[in-house]
């Protein structure tokens, strides 16, 4: 999921329609990754709309504002077909036509959006088309609409008490985002949740927990993402609400945890209620999965937990095994002094004493 920079949008409008053009530009720049050439798009009196459209094709997307003020009384197809249809298609420029009032644009033109009522539906449909979505919008029920205004029409954060409402909003607003992501928070640490978020985003983060959070914040804040946090503790919510262009829904209610052996092992070690042989099995399984997925910080945290439990129970073999894993990870992170200290403690405590000759 790479950020390629904002899409350039060139609106073509007459001075009488400037207010609507400004509202449209503001809406699109809040909710989509676009750069609107607003000032360049205004047409001086007496200008030809077809010629202005030709000028606008320096941008990736052209928006033509149709109104009684811009449409000539008679506009034969031969005068506009090349500029509005044939040439943009040949140059792979996307073009849309926005109806500003009760005018009658040529019906054969595709990608028409009605802004005459100044309802959000028209702007939302246009935004989705610009984002290469369906170009249509079905208004959700009122409760979802209120959340959509807070997180989909612009970057923001909203808290809800119902997981069902959060899930409905995620589904209704999916086309407004680059991706929608869910994180089931109960029983899992911030390190584990950060690793899960990176995994869902396709990021391979091999740094420590602090480094991973910094990279996640940079990545997410630059993108139109919608993240649902299910029943997060306060410190998790503070760390995983990234701001920027990213939106967040926090549900105080959590659903059933997703089926994932790594998640199950993390919850098992956090709870510590299983019998000791099963906890050791879960720790080894989690180490294997986290390592294969490149989720080093989570593996390190799990080994810390396992080592502490092993020492508390007097299991020298498990404590030695987990300590070796900690040393290996610290060395790979370049934290040499810490690695030497852990290795020294491990060798002094668990290695068999060498015979003296």
In whole angstroms, give the CA distance from residue 308 to residue 295.
21
Helix (H) or strand (E) run with residue 225 in it: strand 225-230
Mean pLDDT of 34-51: 91
Segment 276-322, tens digit of pLDDT: 999 999 999 999 999 999 999 999 999 999 999 999 999 999 999 99
- Cβ pair 100, 67 in contact under 8 A: yes
SS3 301: helix
- Greatest CA span in the chain, whole angstroms? 109
Q: Structure tokens of 303?
A: 């080994």
Segment 149-184, tens digit of pLDDT: 999 999 999 999 999 999 999 999 999 999 999 999
pTM assigned to the model: 0.89
Predicted local distance difference test score (pLDDT) of residue 356: 39
Segment 103-153, tens digit of pLDDT: 999 989 999 999 999 999 999 999 999 998 777 788 899 999 999 999 999
CATH class of 142-251: alpha beta
Cα–Cα nearest to 139, from 148, 150, 130 = 148
- Cβ pair 254, 185 in contact under 8 A: yes
Q: Sketch the domain layout of the chain as residue ranges.
A: 7-130, 142-251, 261-350
Domain 261-350 listed as CATH 1.25.40: yes
CATH of 7-130, one of 3.40.50.1220, 3.40.30.10, 3.30.420.40, 3.40.50.10140: 3.40.50.10140
pLDDT band at 354 (very low <50, low <70, confident <90, very high): very low
Segment 80-99, tens digit of pLDDT: 999 999 999 999 999 999 99
């Amino acid at each position: 999921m790479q950020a390629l920079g904002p899409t350039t949008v060139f609106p073509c409008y007459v001075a009488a329609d400037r207010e609507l053009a400004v509202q449209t530009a503001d809406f699109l720049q809040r909710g989509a990754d676009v750069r609107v050439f607003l000032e360049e798009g205004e047409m001086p009196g007496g200008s030809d709309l077809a010629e202005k459209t030709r000028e606008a094709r320096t941008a990736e997307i052209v928006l033509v504002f149709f109104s009684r003020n811009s449409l000539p009384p008679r506009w034969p197809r031969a005068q506009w077909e090349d500029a509005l249809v044939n040439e943009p298609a040949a140059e792979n420029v996307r073009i849309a036509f926005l109806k500003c009032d009760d005018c009658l644009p040529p019906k054969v033109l595709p990608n028409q959006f009605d802004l005459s009522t100044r309802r959000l539906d028209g702007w939302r449909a246009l935004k989705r088309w610009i984002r290469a979505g369906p170009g249509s919008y079905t208004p959700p029920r009122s409760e979802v609409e209120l959340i959509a205004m807070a997180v989909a029409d612009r970057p923001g954060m909203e808290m809800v008490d119902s997981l069902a409402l959060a899930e409905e909003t995620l589904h209704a607003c999916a086309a407004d985002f680059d991706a929608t992501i869910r994180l089931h928070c109960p029983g899992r640490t911030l390190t584990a949740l950060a690793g899960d978020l990176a995994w869902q985003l396709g990021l391979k983060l091999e740094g420590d927990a602090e480094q991973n959070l910094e990279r996640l914040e940079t990545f997410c804040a630059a993108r139109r993402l919608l993240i649902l946090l299910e029943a997060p503790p306060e410190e998790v919510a503070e760390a995983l609400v990234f701001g920027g262009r990213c939106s967040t829904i926090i549900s105080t209610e959590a659903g059933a945890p997703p089926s994932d052996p790594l998640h199950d092992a993390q919850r098992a070690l956090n709870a510590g209620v299983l019998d000791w042989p099963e906890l050791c099995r879960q720790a080894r399984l989690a180490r294997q999965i986290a390592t294969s997925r490149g989720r080093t910080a989570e593996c390190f945290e799990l080994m810390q937990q396992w080592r502490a439990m092993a020492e508390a129970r007097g299991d020298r073999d498990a404590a030695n095994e987990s300590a070796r894993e900690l040393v290996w990870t610290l060395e790979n992170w370049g934290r040499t002094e810490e690695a030497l200290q852990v290795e020294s403690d491990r060798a002094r405590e668990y290695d068999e004493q060498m015979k003296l000759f």
